[in-house]
Amino acid sequence: MIVVWILLGLILLAMTVAVVETRILRVTRYSALELAPGLAASQNGMTRIVVVSDLHCTGFGRGNRRLIDMIAKEKPDLLIVAGDVINSRPCDIKYSKEFFDGLKASGIETCYVFGNHEQKLSLIGEEEFNAYVNEMSSHVRIVNNDTFIFGGITIKGLLIPLRMYRDRLSNIETYFDATELVGRFEDDGNYHILIAHDPTFASMYRDIGADLIIGGHLHGGIIRLPFIGGLISPRHRLFPRRTKGLFDEGKGKLLVTGGVGWHALPFRFLNDPEICVLEIPQKKSLASDEPE
């Protein structure tokens, strides 16, 4: 009998920890050596980028002050918001507006690529979706299937077709051409970043030629198990691959953030909400190109 009580106690403790964990915020740091191992230490300095993904209307303090202050404290040159700020309901536009207004007030330059939840708004109604885009685009750089140059970094944002989030068991490669949507990186000597909300299809982005692909969407696997990793995807698939961390992907790297929020399942376990801080060389400078 005592074993049953101990087990029940442990389950209760784990559930409490899992709920409490959704309120924690951590910083995960990635150095230039990790992100650009083939490049010499930059002689032109570093660009500091913060990545935030999958807020899903989660609030960290009033107006998300705790999250915004944490981002501001890192003094980023650029904030990348990698999708799913909202939960695809028109009423959530207010939440998103508060968050982005707070970033603007803190002087944080921000770019934003939509995830599946932003795109779902377009299914609810054109008016709501257009209102959302107009609201955000007044002070946030939206890079859906677009490219911009920031210092010595070329950044592309890929808007993954919404059907890809549903037809996950289909032969997706036959009808999703990521390169056609966003184009290839030119050989401009810059560091190349591709933002794509769902990292599941990362191998399909290889032809685009990114040094670094940034994604989220998988919420770190929600429950993380030692030696195994994420247990479940937001779409309730078991043992999804590459749910959080830095991975090799072709000739480049894939960074998957566990995100900061939750939806559907209101907990996280051994999987604290995170913002990622990246140090990126401002210009490519191959060691072999340096004078002897």
Residue numbers at the binding site for Fe ion (CB under 5 A): 84, 115-116, 217
Q: State the minimum distance, in angstroms, from the CB of residue 234 to Fe ion.
A: 6
Write a three-state SS string for the chain: CHHHHHHHHHHHHHHHHHHHHCCCCEEEEECHHHHCCCECCCCCCEEEEEEECCCCCCCCCHHHHHHHHHHHHCCCCEEEECCCCCCCCHHHHHHHHHHHHHHHHCCCCEEECCCHHHHHHHHHCHHHHHHHHHHHHCCCEECCCEEEEECCEEEEEECCCHHHHCCCCCCHHHCCCHHHHHCCCCCCCCEEEEEECCHHHHHHHHHHCCCEEEECCCHHHCEEECCCEECECCCCCECCCCCCEEEEECCEEEEECCCCCCCCCCCCECCCCEEEEEEEECCCCEHHHCCC
**For residue 188, what are the contacts with CB-CB under 8 A and spacing of at least 6?**
149, 154
Question: Is the Cβ of residue 116 or residue 190 nearer to Fe ion in the bound state?
Answer: 116
Beta bridge partners of 286: 39
> Closest distance between Fe ion and the C-beta of residue 116, in Å?
5
Q: Cβ 84 to Fe ion, closest distance in Å?
A: 4
Compare residues 77 and 84 and give the one whose CB is closer to Fe ion: 84
Give 84 or 211: the residue with its C-beta nearer to Fe ion.
84
Shortest spacing between CB 236 and Fe ion, in angstroms: 13
CB-closest chain residue to Fe ion: 217
Kindly state the smallest distance separating residue 109's Cβ from Fe ion, in Å.
Answer: 24
- For Fe ion, the closer CB: 114 or 185: 114
- Closest to Fe ion by CB, 209 vs 259, is 259
d(CA 77, CA 69): 15
32 or 195: whose CB is closer to Fe ion?
Answer: 195
| Strand-pair partners of 148 | 155
Q: For residues 86 and 93, which CB has a smaller minimum distance to Fe ion in the complex?
A: 86
- Min dist. Cβ of residue 127 to Fe ion (A): 23
Provide, rounded to whole angstroms, the least separation between the CB of residue 83 and Fe ion.
6
